[in-house]
Amino acid sequence: MRRLLGVLASIVLTASLAACGGVADGSNPGQGVDLPPLSELEATQAPKEITGPSTAMLAEREVEPVDVGETAALPATVVSHVRSGDVKVKVTDTSRIVAFDMSGSIASTLFGLGLGDNLVARDRSTDFPGAEDLPLITSEGHAVNAEAVLAQKPTVIITDGSMGPRDVVEQLADTGVPVVFVEKESSFDGAARLARDVGEVVGLPKTGAALAERLQADIDVARAEVERFVPEKKSDRLRMVFLYLRGNSGVYYLFAEDSGVGDLVASLGGVDVAKELGWKGMQPLTDEAIIKAKPDLILLMTHGLESSGGVDGLLEEKPAIALTPAGQTKRFVDMADGDILAFGPRTAGVVEALGRAIYVPEAQK
């Protein structure tokens, strides 16, 4: 069921992104910003007393590779999860890798494995330092351009099926290039599993395991830092929802647990309204749903908020949001589209950045 929901969400999301330009458009956050670590900050107000919008910014956007001194063991025979059934694929050469998925997580994982220099192309969400100048292989938002992929003469293609058309991607294997579909779940556990799986694909299983362990340890540290700001009483905690917006195309969705939002909200000490109301995957935003949710704080992608005319434009376009506690206090926290749901080596930094923007927003001014 989780995989089905993920596929359905990707179909809808891909279509909406194709109509309006893609995740990273208009919100490339560059190299990161000089901000104090969360460990050095102290709260000056109770969470529900803070008003106004804030933007979460990563202090460090680069992906630091892990090195355990492992030499790639190739060829590597791995399982590729295609629609017709799992198949075995032999990977013999990783010198020219093309990797793509909706959130850029596979590319960042490859950087974490120390293979950033082997990437020869990128998807639209892969905009972090070291990858931002690679040739794009997506067109019309997140549609894969097969000719652009083959033009890079890849020796292996790694994806998760979240970008398509899926038939086109699967047919790339007919050209003789090994195509590996890895399973990807938008969650903290899924990010660690992706590190191990991609490590297997490129013949670096020990490095993949080490990256997974580091990723989980970093997330645990970030969560512990955020926990210092979370009220003990549940009634004092912020009720959070995540909205996906493309206002210029009339696209408004609520993202729920299966989209990765559940882990994110839990790590931020928020009350997961989507889980409380039994929402799954993603669903169209309705006035009834957002009023029933009664969020104290709304998480968004930066470009999505911009496409809706900013906070004031969104409240004017969607008056129901203005009736919620978050709307009345303008408690909106946005983050760069290519960062906020990019589950991978940068996840701990995302948690810290969001924690700073939510609980100590004055530290970013």
245 and 116 co-located in one domain: no
159 and 244 co-located in one domain: no
Q: What's the pLDDT at 140? A: 62
pTM: 0.89
Domain containing 116 equals 76-215
Q: What's the pLDDT at 31? A: 56
83 and 209 co-located in one domain: yes
**Number of separate domains in the chain:** 2
360 and 312 co-located in one domain: yes
| Omega within 30 of 0 (cis) for the link into 135 | no
166 and 244 co-located in one domain: no
25 and 142 co-located in one domain: no
Listed residues 215, 246, 273: the one ending a domain? 215
pLDDT of 257 strictly over 50 = yes
Specify if 223 maps to a domain: no
Average pLDDT of 262-280? 92
Average pLDDT of 141-154? 90
pLDDT, tens digit, 9 for 90 and up, residues 235-254: 999 999 999 998 777 889 99
Specify if 314 maps to a domain: yes
Per the listing, tokens 């970013």 go with 364
Specify if 351 maps to a domain: yes
Burial class (CB within 10 angstroms; exposed 0-12, middle 13-18, buried 19+) of 347 = buried
- Cβ-based neighbours of 258, under 8 Å, separated by 6 or more: 2, 5, 6, 9, 186, 280, 281
Specify if 326 maps to a domain: yes
272 and 294 co-located in one domain: yes
161 and 238 co-located in one domain: no
- Cα separation values, 23 from 112, 142, 187, 195, Å: 22, 8, 19, 22
Specify if 291 maps to a domain: yes
pLDDT, tens digit, 9 for 90 and up, residues 76-126: 999 999 888 899 999 999 999 999 998 899 999 999 999 999 999 999 889
pLDDT, tens digit, 9 for 90 and up, residues 277-323: 888 888 899 999 999 999 999 999 999 999 999 999 999 999 999 99
80 SS3 class? strand
128 and 257 co-located in one domain: no
User: Which amino acid type is present at position 1?
Assistant: M
Residue 127's pLDDT band (cuts 50, 70, 90): confident
304 and 246 co-located in one domain: yes
245 and 278 co-located in one domain: yes
Find the CATH number of the domain harbouring 174.
3.40.50.1980
281 and 334 co-located in one domain: yes
